Structure 1
Amino acid sequence: MPIQHPLIDLSYISEISGGDEGYIREVIGIFVDTMATGMLKLSDLIRNNGDFEDIHKQAHFLKSSAGIIKITGVYDSLVKIDGLAKQRTGLDEIKQSLNLIITNYNEALPFLIAGRA
């Protein structure tokens, strides 16, 4: 069941699960569901709302999931969004970081979906 994709790093979840593939599949499923709805909300907040406090809260929430199932650039971009929003600045940088998250997540998503089956 190992997922082979250069953007995806499952080393942390593999380590904490002791290699239990059923557990890994379950966590991947939770991750995909959480990120799908969470990224839509974050995107809406960034593009339509602009409320830094809400952006900060949503990015902070998503960081925990992105730290377990690692997709290149996603966690670091969420950290950047979280920090900038907390400082109430850098909306253009926040938008660029969001674009990177969306691009990398969407590229990795089909492999994650296959890996949770």
Structure 2
Amino acid sequence: MNEQFDYVDLSYLEEISGGDVSFKKELIGIFLTQIPEFVTNMHRFLTKNEIGDLAKEAHTAKSSVLIFMMEKTGKMLKQIQLLAEKNSTEQIPSLINEVETDLANASKELSGYLKKL
């Protein structure tokens, strides 16, 4: 199954799964479950000014998106993490919104792919 996607790249997933469909399904399922949690938590931590927790959440989310080769999203999450660590929050809301859009689009792509597995 060699599909082209706009937001995700499955080459790393293919590599680490060794073609094991159940493993791919499991990783995609975990990611799809985590996406709303990441976004909700980042918004909540920013609103409550829990900046340390925001930095940690961005770091965790970054690790997850990189499995699906979402380099642009990973860079934005790293930027959120670094800005939060510096307590420089001015740019963070727009970055979170961009990340949220990318994650929603990735979720649609991965959900569609999952149905075909």
Which TM-score applies when normalising by structure 1? Answer: 0.86
What percentage of residue pairs aligned between the two structures are identical? 30
Query: Is 1:78 the equivalent of 2:89?
Result: no
Q: Superposed, which structure 2 residues align to 1:31-42 within 5 Å?
A: 31-42=31-42
Give the paired residue count.
115
Shift of 1:68: 0.8
Q: Choose which of 78, 99, 102 in structure 2 pairs with 1:101.
A: 99
Q: Which runs of 5+ in 1 are unaligned?
A: none
Q: Which residue of 2 aligns with 1:5?
A: 5
The offset of 1:106, in angstroms, is 1.4
Q: Is the 8 A contact 1:25 1:115 kept in 2?
A: no
Q: Who is 1:60 aligned against?
A: 59
Residue 28 of structure 1 corresponds to which residue in structure 2? 28
Letter in 2 for 1:105: L
Residue from 98, 103, 109 that aligns with 1:111: 109
Give, in whole Å, the separation in 2 of the partners of 1:3 and 1:33.
22
TM-score, reference length from structure 2: 0.86
Which segments of 5 or more consecutive residues in structure 2 lack a partner in the other structure?
A: none
| Counterpart Cα distance in 2 of 1:98 and 1:3 | 28
Structure-1 separation of matches of 2:112 and 2:42: 25
Superposed displacement of residue 108, structure 1? 2.3
Aligned-residue CA RMSD (Å): 1.7
1:92 is aligned to 2:90:
yes
- Distance in 2 of aligned mates of 1:110 and 1:22: 19
Greater mean deviation of Cα atoms: 79-88 or 105-114: 105-114
Q: Residue type matched to 1:80 in 2?
A: Q
Aligned-partner Cα distance in 2 for 1:93–1:20:
40
* Cα drift, residue 78 of structure 1: 0.8
